[in-house]
Amino acid sequence: MTLVSREQAEVGHRFRVVRIPDECSSCRLYQVCMGRLKPGRTYVVAEVRPSLGQRCKITGGEMTPVVVEEVPLRLLLPRKKALEGVVVTYEGECRGCRDCPGEDALSPGEKILVEKVLGKTVCNGREFFVVEASPV
């Protein structure tokens, strides 16, 4: 559960958290709003709840409670880790290519569940598999 603007409160709406503004940390709604989201991650609205009239400290706009689901990350893994249904440790093997996650989205050492293998690609002269994965 988190809070989004009234305009974003639509089932199926996707949004990416780029960064959490400094002003949010002192807001009384921080824990139910931005406090549950991670920078670099993408979310989809799964359910919209009735608004209680909360207002955003930054925009002044009405905020609506929603249930969100984290969208799996699309990233590159070496062959030995690209196995559907397996939990592996992400080690940051890929950096600087199109499907390499930013450091804000996933840090080396994090455990991830490989949900789906999408194909192969080359990054910096090395072969990788494109996968969808979620942090665990």
CA gap 22, 51 in Å, rounded:
25
Residue 40 confidence (pLDDT) above 90: no
Poorest-pLDDT segment among 19-23, 45-49, 90-94: 90-94
- Structure tokens belonging to residue 79: 């062959």
Q: With bands split at pLDDT 50, 70 and 90, how would you rate the model's confidence at 117?
A: very high
- Structure tokens belonging to residue 121: 């690609």
